[in-house]
Amino acid sequence: MFLEKDTNTKTRTGWIEVICGSMFSGKTEELIRRLNRARIAKQKVEIFKPQIDKRYSEEDVVSHNANSIRSIPVQSASQILFYANEFDVIGIDEAQFFDDELMSVCNSLADQGVRVIVAGLDMDFQGNPFGPIPQILSVAEYVTKVHAICMRCGNLANYSHRTIAGDKLVMLGETDSYEPLCRACYNKSQKHIENNSLSATE
């Protein structure tokens, strides 16, 4: 489990933490856990999320176990910079949906002494790196990969497999259309899709 380093020092230094993994891997729960502990330590804490995420309420980052924390929806990554002086710890949820500026935003916040905790999907449903996440993984001091459980075999899962057809990358509010799979089961399901589309064109 990730434990905070002591922050009670004279020189205020910031850093970047990333929590990433597939859907249903507990990213948001882990983000909320860290932020709640910072709050107990009397630090000023806030969560930002991209405006695109309207799955639940506008104002709340809500994790799947309904353990919620209030958040500020923003339209672009650079908007988060305006809040750098107001908070000790800044959480960024659903970070994969932010624009490419997110990495430099996280760097500037950390440079100014903020502890930045980024949570997001590391891969899209096709198994490709998702949005600005790869860049942030490179510059982060701490990276935590969390895992779901494979719906088909019970091993650790790191893929978000889409169970319905469609190429659109962002499908919000449709968590029913995804299942976490391990590498072996994901590959099997991709083969199945390939075979099906081959027989459809024949």
Task: Write out the catalytic residue numbers.
Answer: 94
Site for Zn ion (CB under 5 A): how many residues? Answer: 6
Q: Which is nearer to Zn ion, 19 or 150 (CB)?
A: 150
Return left, alpha or beta for 104; rule: phi > 0 is left, psi -120 to 50 is alpha, else beta. Answer: alpha
- From the CB of 148, what's the least distance to Zn ion, in Å? 11
Interface positions, 154-193, toward Zn ion (CB under 5 A): 155, 182, 185
- Side-chain-side CA neighbours of 202 within 13 Å: the count stands at 6
Q: Is 13 helix (H, G, I), strand (E, B) or coil?
A: coil
**Binding flags for Zn ion, 36-55, as an x/- string (CB under 5 A):** --------------------
Cβ-contact 91, 46 below 8 angstroms: yes
Give the C-alpha separation, 87 to 45, whole Å. 6
- From the CB of 153, what's the least distance to Zn ion, in Å? 3
Q: Which is nearer to Zn ion, 106 or 182 (CB)?
A: 182
Residue 80: partners with Cβ closer than 8 Å, 6 or more residues away: 48, 74, 90, 92, 105, 109
- From the CB of 149, what's the least distance to Zn ion, in Å? 9
Give the C-alpha separation, 97 to 28, whole Å. 15
Q: Is 123 helix (H, G, I), strand (E, B) or coil?
A: strand
Q: Which is nearer to Zn ion, 112 or 126 (CB)?
A: 126
Interface positions, 125-154, toward Zn ion (CB under 5 A): 150, 152-153
Q: Which is nearer to Zn ion, 103 or 150 (CB)?
A: 150
- From the CB of 163, what's the least distance to Zn ion, in Å? 14
Interface positions, 81-120, toward Zn ion (CB under 5 A): none
The contact set with Zn ion (CB under 5 A) reads 150, 152-153, 155, 182, 185
